[in-house]
Structure 1
């Protein structure tokens, strides 16, 4: 558990032409604390003549020479702490000791391994505060907010080398867990309503709904704590502009609104842009991603919706879905002060009137069976999601399947339906775009690389 190491013949001058090695070892679960009481080894640049090397697992922790603490290669009285339970001291001298230097003496003792509290990623905390952090002790992690769920390993053990390692054997820095937002959950409220000609949603019922209040008026859907989905035509011409989006409310004039500003607006590369005042003739690839400039403060009234699953059948899986927005709700009202929603069903493209505009496989149409429920002007960019609000369950979170894109000017017309961007066609683009534009906090920093360089020198006689 402790001991002393000295150069040969200490405190007399050490001999010339030496190669001495000491192997120090303490019990597993301890580290070696090495302190020099005296060091007097012939000085030379890079300790090329005589030297004492401290080595751990073939890595040189220090190479020392010199006569006093002002020498750049003298350890003074600083303590060296080994990474593990073993250390090697290698004392090498050349074939002369002209000034009769005395060598060294050092003491060592075992110090219990303590991994310490690791630097935790954003939004993560210990499940038990003030946890023990010594050898073989364990820590567990959790997300600091109920609106997030832990992704990755949440349990780590302190190993003999002072590393927190996961159950799979990876170091903490190599296997960092993350807190990802819980998607597709709202507050458990139910009420009937419509978008065009409908009633108001309740607070927390559609917490992913965002609103761009000024021109162009439109909607978006929060899909993470930084990103939102909208229609490309809503943000066309605003890529270099900071847009303000509102969320966490059902009344666009309320005081407790959360305001989010954009950092990036990324329009799908195959969408035909026309600018702010251009007239769009094709709504193919009408999808865009919005990255907010700061993490969105998630809560009961502001949280993301889940992305859809891919399906070879109908986009809405023969289910009724919900469309929501702050757009027009009657023939005379082009925008709503309150968030409205209604239930629609999918129709085959042959059943939908396109008014001569191009219809592609990147779109689908949806509406109701003559009840006047429809998306309308001002709802563009907003969500169409499954299931309907009355069908909510923990086993079936809400998933956005469509983005309000375009339709005939007559909202709620019995013969015409609205067209929606088919999100399932863009899942790879969405995920790749988000990954390629991640925030600094999402990136795992690379640890420092240590390079050992062998230096040669010529003795002067």
Structure 2
């Protein structure tokens, strides 16, 4: 059986902020409102693009962000030619960089605690080429995926960016608009899942979704509320992985649900992006899992409101130190062991990560199994979407009807 997690709380609306917009071969870029405190829920991306035979240099002159050991609250991440060279917060000033590659600086703040921010000088030097332009943009609502999936993984309601409450927190309402609850016809919550387009949902094979017994609810936050604008959609069919092993390993624990009618996409209902087969996800990335599962091992009921928790992903080699190498397969990915974990009722739900701060959310894992007692010092295990992406795509494209 699997075990799952969730928990968070609070509410704050995303606010508009002005990110610097600069063009030319040199100048200064600063965080919003600098030298005053930057705002909550800020999202800015700065791109410095040298031309052929040119170089770009950056040097920080001031740096003060909220501190966290993994930089999970407010963070500035720097990419050199698409490769992350570090995530920075607190007063750890990034080192100067000189590169012939495009430099991207991504700044993101959470819903509380504001600091002075940062300022850096840039210069593009060298002969030749027509490069040397610098652009910046707010990414709170304009980010789109580059995976051919259209606009996915970008909530209209910004999620909380914190994991300050041990064990998790109540999510901001509708900040994870791909989250679904699979319910019995009597209205009981059975499992979670993720909307990947208007016609398909991903859940766990061990949830055993049945078209004549289960239905999909979208746009829900509080299961006890009668005022939410939810969508209740019947299942047309299910396509579960043919090599799913329900024994001790739960290998290939994934199932696709074809909706009988398309979901109506809007502010509260949006698809998540799917991780690419070539993607790699590390503990330095921001990852969350969400669901209505039990919030403690002593609880006998599912949560009323959607819960979330931030988790670091880990390699299977590290995860094997907890579960043993025989328990893990290539179709699994682990996350957690830092004070929160998925629990019963979260099964089938998403593990989502941002490859860059402020970027779209990608479905990286599907809640599969873990500690029977929901131990927060043990990682939960998820079906690994990068390993299963080809099967997902081929199953959808090859579907001809029930």
Match of 2:249 in 1: 282
**Residue 305 of structure 1, aligned match among 265, 272, 276:** 272
**Contact 2:239–2:257 (8 Å) recurs in 1:** yes
Given the superposition, is the C-alpha separation of residues 266 and 333 from structure 1 closer, same or farther in structure 2, using an over 3 Å criterion? same
Match of 1:183 in 2: 152
Counterparts of 2:294 and 2:210, CA distance in 1: 26
What whole-Å deviation, never above 9, does each CA across 1:125-151 have from its counterpart, x for those lacking one? Answer: xxxxxxxxxxxxxxxxxxxxx99x9x9
Match of 1:251 in 2: 222
Q: Which moved more, 1:337-346 or 1:179-188?
A: 179-188
Shift of 1:293: 0.1
What whole-Å deviation, never above 9, does each CA across 1:89-138 have from its counterpart, x for those lacking one? Answer: xxxxxxxxxxxxxxxxxxxxxxxxxxxxxxxxxxxxxxxxxxxxxxxxxx
Q: Secondary structure at the match of 1:217?
A: strand
Shift of 1:350: 3.6
Match of 1:326 in 2: 292
Shift of 1:242: 4.5
Q: Secondary structure at the match of 2:304?
A: strand
What whole-Å deviation, never above 9, does each CA across 1:389-424 have from its counterpart, x for those lacking one? Answer: xx763xx2111100110001121432x210011101
Counterparts of 1:195 and 1:327, CA distance in 2: 17
Match of 1:42 in 2: none
Match of 2:58 in 1: none
Match of 2:94 in 1: none
**Residue 397 of structure 1, aligned match among 360, 363, 383:** 360
**Residue 380 of structure 2, aligned match among 399, 409, 418:** 418
Q: Secondary structure at the match of 2:273?
A: coil
**Contact 2:197–2:271 (8 Å) recurs in 1:** yes
Given the superposition, is the C-alpha separation of residues 381 and 202 from structure 1 closer, same or farther in structure 2, using an over 3 Å criterion? same
Counterparts of 2:273 and 2:314, CA distance in 1: 23
Shift of 1:317: 6.5
The answer as to 2:329 corresponding to 1:360 is yes
Structure 2 residues without counterparts, runs of 5 or longer: 1-140
Please show how residues 84-99 of structure 1 align to structure 2 within 5 Å.
Answer: none
**Contact 1:348–1:364 (8 Å) recurs in 2:** yes
The answer as to 2:191 corresponding to 1:218 is yes
Match of 1:387 in 2: 354
**Contact 2:337–2:376 (8 Å) recurs in 1:** no
Please show how residues 60-75 of structure 1 align to structure 2 within 5 Å.
Answer: none
Stretches of 4+ aligned residues off by more than 4 angstroms:
193-196
Instruction: Report which structure shows greater RCO (CA 8 Å, sep ≥6).
Output: 2
What whole-Å deviation, never above 9, does each CA across 1:414-438 have from its counterpart, x for those lacking one? Answer: 2x21001110111111111111226
Structure 1 residues without counterparts, runs of 5 or longer: 1-145, 152-178, 274-279, 441-461
TM-score between both structures, scaled by the size of structure 2: 0.56
TM-score between both structures, scaled by the size of structure 1: 0.49
Given the superposition, is the C-alpha separation of residues 195 and 326 from structure 1 closer, same or farther in structure 2, using an over 3 Å criterion? farther
Given the superposition, is the C-alpha separation of residues 332 and 183 from structure 1 closer, same or farther in structure 2, using an over 3 Å criterion? same
Shift of 1:365: 1.1
